[in-house]
Chain A
Amino acid sequence: MGRLEVLKTYKVYIGGKFPRTESGRYYTPTNAKGEQLGNICLSSRKDVRNSVVAARKAFGGWSERAANNRGQILYRIAEMLEGRKAQFIEEIIFQGATKKDAEKEVSIAIDRLIYYAGWCDKYTQVLSSVNPVASAHFNFSVHEPMGVIGVVADKHTSLIGLVSLMAPVIAGGNTCVVIASEGLPLCSVTFAEVLNSSDVPGGVVNILTGKVGEMMPPLASHMDVNGIVYSGDDKKEIKDLEESTALNMKRISVYSADWMNSDEQDIYKIADCQEVKTTWHPIENIGGASSSY
């Protein structure tokens, strides 16, 4: 007698837990052959709200963690992803990619995590500055995480688009709420399992599946979200984003990139989610010949 295959239940990831959407709704995306990918949670605005609460709660601890420890944790995500490579490749192929592209996508995702893991304890040295000012002050600017970031992941990839946006956000000490690709959601949920088993504190990354059009507006207008990163080139979505983020003057970063290109990674993606704090310290303008410091 043949064995009945056990199908995976794809759930969302909020605050380090895997609940079903509070709305109880599902959708069933299909691949090009018309095969059903699975029953995927159709998250609601209340899931967005709950995720933001979880992300805000996690922000304190994550942003105060030693930078090198954040780097170690990002590296750990890469390690865990490496260990489950085969599962991701299988899912990406099932969602319509060729074997070659799927292997490439997972490899780049792993390498990209390691790339940003390396930057964790280095980007402040590169970005921060001591500024010459026309008074007797020691004036310096340092970069600090913005807080809770909304991430609207790339729609055309399942894994690499999500990783490429999420990694620089959390490397910089932010926490985030990710809206996964609507049509290719499988890897986002499996990636949440990787995060859950790799020392990332609950709430640092929250991943929701469903319709971008339904989740993006409450995320963008949420007063407790400090910034949005968006991947894509949908003019209408970008315009809506700009309008609804104006409420609390969130910074939005729009990327229209080919994430499969191994060069699509840089320190400026970390900087996009940092606030610059400039301090005027009333000692003296340090560095002159007679400076006492």
Chain B
Amino acid sequence: MNKKNGTANHRIPDFSLSPRIDKVGVEERVSRFQTRSIKTSAKLQGLKMVLNMIDLTTLEGKDTPGKVRQMCYKAQHLHDYHPGLPSVAAVCVYPTMVGVAKKGVEGSGVKVASVSTAFPSGQAPLKIKLADTKFAVSEGADEIDMVISRGKFLRGEYNYVFDEIAAIKEVCGDARLKVILETGELVTLDNVRRASDIAMYAGADFIKTSTGKIQPAATMQVTYTMLEAIRDFMDETGIKVGMKPAGGISNSKLALHNLVMVKEVLGGEWLNNDWFRFGASSLANDVLMQIMKAETGNYQSSDYFSID
């Protein structure tokens, strides 16, 4: 992972001039990723890669330390019946659960991501968002998943959104910052592209589609638009940014199509969990069931896998 100096040395573009997106063209391109046939050993390798890219997530009002501990255990023991499976990339929790999660994954290499900045709405003053983030970092979060102020963005206050992301980045310290655009509320692909550009120039280490609370979430069209923004940003500044589609990716096939898309838009360098993640809660079990199907030849039942 290259430690970067940020975009301080780069000219900040006028975000109102971000490229416009050809929606029909995107749909056409995306539909082609879905026709790729991935079978046998390639499928198995892809599925294991997907497992290793998952941010196992619980973001509910009813979360308890017990629930978080259980998830942390699952993150490291996805299906002990089948030895040799990778662990997931990270567990993703609310700031108050970071301490519990940190203890839960100790020594396993699984990272702890914390949502912050008044997740999921982001409707709080900057002061509170900063305090929220500082708290999560001080509890030991390795990664911060912040939400942008969509209301401000839609009103055209791009500088506010930019400054806010930059301010949060500053208090993140060594924690990597994922910026959630909540694309379901941005409505158009033009907006998705513009928000991606703002987030990356403001210092995002990752851009992430959604909170998982709003539908539609990580559609392939949205993810594709963001991947293209990452590629253009890389060309412009030489800085690599990661991608995390979150919400709505609940089956293996869709996950594999996403990997194909990443490979073909950004290249193989992005195909590891330093640069690509899936935010999902129920994807892991489906992938596990597919792996077991591939290994045993028998269709599987959720009765024999851990509860999400």
Interface positions of A (Cβ within 8 A of B) = 48-49, 52, 218, 221-224, 247-248
Q: How many residues of chain B have a CB within 8 Å of chain A?
A: 8
The interface of chain B, by Cβ under 8 A from chain A, is 297-304
Query: From residue A9, how far is it (CB to closest CB) to chain B in Å?
Result: 26
Question: Which residues from B are CB-within-8-Å of A48?
Answer: 299
B299 close to A218 (CB less than 8 A): yes
Sample 5 A-B pairs with CB under 8 A, ordered by A number.
Answer: A48-B299, A221-B298, A222-B299, A223-B300, A247-B298
Determine the distance from Cα of A67 to Cα of B300 in the docked complex, in whole angstroms.
30
State the CA gap A223–B299 with chains docked (Å): 6
Smallest beta-carbon distance B304→chain A, Å: 6
Main secondary structure of the interface of A (DSSP, over half): helix
For residue B305, which residue of chain A has the nearest CB? Answer: A223
Question: Which residues of A lie under 8 Å from residue B301 when comparing CB positions?
Answer: 222-224, 248
CA distance A218 to B303 in the complex (A): 18
Which A residues lie within 8 Å of B302 (CB)? 224
Q: In the bound complex, what is the Cα–Cα distance between A224 and B299 (angstroms)?
A: 7
Chain A contacts of B297 at CB under 8 A? 221
Q: Is the CB of B298 within 8 A of A52?
A: no
Determine how close the nearest CB of chain B comes to the CB of A199; give it in whole angstroms. Answer: 28
Q: Which residues of A have CB within 8 Å of B299?
A: 48-49, 52, 218, 221-224
What residues of B have a CB within 8 angstroms of the CB of A248 in the complex?
301, 304
With both chains docked as a complex, state the minimum distance between the C-beta of A130 and any C-beta of chain B, in angstroms. Answer: 30
Give complex CA distance A49, B300 in Å.
10
Contacts of B298 in A (CB 8 A): 218, 221-223, 247
Q: Which residues of B contact A222 (CB under 8 A)?
A: 298-299, 301
> In whole angstroms, what is the CA distance A248 to B300 when docked?
10
The interface residues of chain B lying within 8 Å CB-to-CB of A218 are: 298-299
- Tell me, in angstroms, the Cα distance from A223 to B303 when the chains sit together: 8
Q: Which of B297, B300, B301, B303 has the most CB of A within 10 A?
A: B301
